[in-house]
Amino acid sequence: MNAIQSTVEAHAGDLLDAHGSHGKPSRRGEILEVLGEAGHAHFRVRWDDQHESIVYPSDGVTIVHQEAHA
């Protein structure tokens, strides 16, 4: 893994950390697809528990860039 960044610039294969709030645990998932346009990007993510969802990044979301994209 490479550096952790809080920006929303991401690529398929990067990881997404969603920090838990209100007593919920943190989650990690792999970004499968970047949707939308620059400045309005959102992601299709496969979480560690193998379910998929669409994520609109906000506070508490960190992108972990993989070395292949560095």
- CA-based end-to-end distance of the chain: 9
Q: With b meaning 16 or more CB within 10 Å and e meaning fewer, what string describes 36-50? A: eeeeeeebbbeeeee
pLDDT of residue 48: 95
User: In this model, does residue 52 exceed pLDDT 90?
Assistant: yes
State how far the Cα of 66 lies from the Cα of 70, in Å rounded to an integer.
Answer: 7
Domains defined for the chain, CATH in brackets: 4-69 (2.30.30)
Q: What is the pLDDT of residue 68?
A: 55
Using CB atoms within 10 A of its CB, is residue 29 exposed (0-12), middle (13-18) or buried (19+)? Answer: buried
* Residue-wise pLDDT tens digits, 14-50: 999 998 888 888 999 999 999 998 788 999 999 999 9
